[in-house]
Amino acid sequence: MDVKDLKYFVAVYEARGFSRACLQLGTVQSNVSTRIRALESSLGVILFERRYRDVIPTESGAKLYARAKQLIAELDEARKTLQLVHG
């Protein structure tokens, strides 16, 4: 589970679709699909239920979302803190 994986996941979650997520991520659908599938595989958990014109988070997906948002925010905050110090 990588930070980039979390960002991909959050984008799909918020966009409720792979095609809309990829615009925000600056990549193509196929990569989003592949990476989400790899993430699901590595966790042993399905994160989204794929339906036509709707990508619905599973229970696991919903649980991951809150944590993922927090983790990404904390990482950004850490980066900002460091770049003020310049040590």
Give me the phi and psi of 86, to 5 degrees please.
55, 40
H/E run at residue 56: strand 54-57
- 27 binds, options a second copy, DNA, none, Cβ within 5 to 8 A by partner type: DNA
Q: How many CA atoms lie within 13 A of 10 on its CB side?
A: 17
Binding site for DNA (CB under 7 A): 2, 4, 17-20, 26-31, 33-38, 50-53, 55
Site residues (vs a second copy, CB under 8 A): 1-4, 43-46, 58-61, 63-64, 67-68, 70-71, 74-75, 77-79, 81-83, 85-87
